[in-house]
């Protein structure tokens, strides 16, 4: 694909069409009416779609001989708690023959399921299990949607932004029972509170200096 000068219909500005923008135009043709937006940005084609159309979108992009996005290099999600549609699925595709990358974004609401694409790309199998484990996004039609990185009895989904940093359960070795035990997290109180009366060296000097400054100001 060679660079070609094009004119923006709205502004009249002349710009050079790049291989990436040419691919973006071609992706619009392939996907017809099943995309929300397609732009060329940051050295890749960025496509926004409805999550329920993701299987058709990936199949079209994979099977088209010219686009040939035949490799799913990554599948993950992002949590945006402040948004009405909380999660965003991210599918990263690679076209080896065109040396181009394409990113697909699809919004997913809390509790909404997403069609599994493990039948389109087998690489999605474990990636969807990880997204389910970490974010709690359910993939309809997945052949084996078990947790992948946490234990079977794990509570919650650690990459949700409202998940507590301490977790809900801690694992430790119990000398009395002589085995590993799982139990609710219990934080010792002195690790919860921090005041400037700590005996740590250096901190007391800072307090003394601050008191000295106050005394000199009052005088």
One-character DSSP codes across 124-186? HHHHHHHHHHHH---EET-S----SSS-TT--S-TTSTTS-TT-SEEEEEETTTTEEEEEE--
pLDDT at 75: 97
Structure tokens at 137: 């996004």
Domain edges within the chain = 19-146
> Hunting for tokens 């992009």 — which residue is that?
61
- Are the C-beta atoms of 82 and 47 separated by less than 8 Å? no
- Walk along the chain (219 residues) and give the pLDDT tens digit of each residue: 334 444 444 455 555 689 999 999 999 999 998 999 999 999 999 999 999 999 999 999 999 999 999 999 999 999 999 999 999 999 999 999 999 999 999 999 999 999 999 999 999 999 999 999 999 999 999 999 999 998 877 888 999 998 887 778 888 888 999 898 888 877 665 555 555 565 555 455 555 665 666 666 665
CATH topology of domain 19-146: Beta Polymerase; domain 2 (3.30.460)
> Hunting for tokens 């921090």 — which residue is that?
194
* Among the listed residues 143, 23, 4, 34, the one whose alpha carbon sits nearest the alpha carbon of residue 93: 23
Phi-psi region of 178 (alpha: psi -120 to 50; beta: other; left: phi over 0): left
């Amino acid at each position: 694909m060679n660079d070609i000068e094009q004119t923006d219909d709205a502004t009249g500005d002349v710009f050079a069409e790049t291989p990436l923008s040419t691919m973006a135009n071609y992706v619009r043709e392939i996907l017809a009416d099943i995309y929300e937006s397609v732009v060329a940005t940051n050295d890749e084609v960025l496509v926004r779609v409805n999550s329920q159309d993701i299987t058709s979108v990936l199949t079209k992009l994979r099977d088209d001989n010219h686009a040939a996005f035949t490799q799913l290099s990554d599948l993950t999600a992002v949590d945006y708690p402040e948004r009405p549609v909380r999660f965003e699925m991210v599918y990263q595709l690679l076209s080896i023959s065109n040396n181009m990358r394409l990113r697909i974004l699809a919004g997913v609401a809390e509790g909404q399921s997403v069609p599994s694409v493990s039948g389109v790309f087998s690489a999605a199998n474990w990636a969807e299990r990880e997204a389910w484990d970490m974010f709690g996004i359910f993939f309809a039609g997945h052949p084996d949607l078990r947790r992948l990185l946490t234990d079977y009895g794990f509570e919650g989904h650690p990459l949700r932004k409202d998940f507590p940093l301490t977790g809900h359960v801690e694992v430790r070795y119990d000398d009395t029972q002589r085995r590993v035990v799982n139990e609710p997290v219990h934080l010792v109180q002195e690790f919860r509170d921090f005041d400037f009366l700590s005996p740590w060296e250096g901190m007391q000097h800072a307090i003394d200096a601050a008191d000295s400054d106050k005394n000199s100001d009052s005088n």
